[in-house]
Amino acid sequence: MKKIIILISIACFLSACQKNYTGKDVQWGADTVTEENKKCLRENQIPFKDKGGKTYIPEDAFDIAINSCS
């Protein structure tokens, strides 16, 4: 029982520490973004959307994406 409570506490703590990106989506990168760049966004848990061949990320994740994926 004690182990279950500890595991639930750890799971709650880790989920509370994840960054929630909000804000308007802005275009990231050139007209086309490589699969390597998309993989980097996934690894850094930065949400992105592909629309019409262009990649968009939340505005408040822009600096983090540039620092970690360039």
* Main-chain phi, psi angles of 11, to 5 degrees: -65, -40
Residues 6+ apart with CB under 8 A from 41: 47, 48, 57, 65, 69
Q: Confirm whether pTM is higher than 0.75.
A: no
DSSP-assigned letter for residue 31: S
Q: What is the pLDDT of residues 4-49, one digit of tens each?
A: 888 888 777 766 666 777 778 888 877 777 888 889 989 988 899 8
Domain boundaries, the chain: 30-70
